[in-house]
A and B are shown apart, each in its own frame.
Chain A
């Protein structure tokens, strides 16, 4: 089964951002950032693109398909 892995936590920590600070930048709640980082919640395309923009990374570097 194909799953979605992400490097959100590493990229966020690289910029020295807290989950709340990233949530504020993207316009979602902290729990949404937390659940995305933990792989519990798969974000919409719009949110994935907003996260990539906020972190200054291409979206395919933040999210990868894993078999």
Chain B
């Protein structure tokens, strides 16, 4: 019989692995979608996916108030990992935007492609950073 701490550890590990997969999927979909013409429904689908990923990186505390396992999965160390993952996402967005500003001088990009690349870089970096910190802390 697993206690709450064991359950939280198992679920935290699964969450970290899921975040790696989510980052890979999001990067792949971002790159595949470049230079393509998107319908409104495709654009809405991508925006919803981006928002869901961003939401997953936040603690959304009211939902966890009464669930002990979820509280354990979002304790102090996890909060620090979230902060660090946000910082990684911020710097990835800055680096990507600067890189694209240079690239766009010789290879013009559409505004939606630029937005897609910046958001993809920010979220993927944040997901990977969070997952890495979580798995490293559990060792």
Contacts and interface: CB of A to CB of B under 8 A. Distances in A.
Nearest to A21: B5
B48 interface: no
Contact of A41 (B12, B80, B138, B139): B80
Interface string B1-44: 00111101100100000000000000000000000000000000
Interface residues of A, number: 17
A58 interface: no
A44 B76 CA distance: 8
Contacts, number: 54
A35 B78 CA distance: 11
A29 B80 contact: no
Nearest to A19: B5
Contacts of B80: 41
The CB with the most chain B CB atoms within 10 A, among A27, A28, A29, A32, is that of A29
B5 A41 contact: no
Chain B binding surface SS class: helix
Interface residues of B, number: 19
Contacts of B76: 28, 32, 41, 43-44, 47
B52 interface: no
B75 A40 contact: no
A20 B2 CA distance: 11
Contacts of A41: 76-77, 80, 137
B3 A31 contact: no
The CB with the most chain A CB atoms within 10 A, among B9, B12, B71, B76, is that of B76
